[in-house]
Amino acid sequence: MQTIQSKEQFRELKDNGKTIFVFSADWCPDCRFIEPFMPEVIEKHKEYTFRLIDRDEFIDICQELDVFGIPSFIAFHNGTEVGRFVSKDRKTEEEINQFIDQLPSE
């Protein structure tokens, strides 16, 4: 999963296609917990582009989107937010897949 490098890159990905942004930080133990199974999640949901956003590097994007807990997931389809799984709680592979499975298909 590639990491967002700029606000411009975030806005372009948000506005074009189906993207799920994963908000994380290096120091976050719950973020490290999801790393081993995220490749399987990404493989299962190929209709989405997954991008990592470092919470510390892009705190302004987090504030703009009301992301105060990590790891968190926000899905966009052509600029429209279609779902969010945002909390400070640890997330399991099953919970992440359930979140993505319930997103609108169009």
Q: Say which of 13, 20, 28, 61 is annotated catalytic.
A: 28
Query: Catalytic residue at 62?
Result: no
E-assigned strands of the chain? 2-3, 18-24, 49-54, 72-77, 80-85
Count Cβ atoms below 10 Å from residue 93 Cβ, excluding itself.
15
Cα–chain center distance at 21 = 3
Whole-number Å distance between alpha carbons of 86 and 84? 6
Query: Catalytic residue at 31?
Result: yes
Q: Say which of 31, 53, 62, 65 is annotated catalytic.
A: 31
Q: What positions carry a catalytic annotation? A: 28, 31
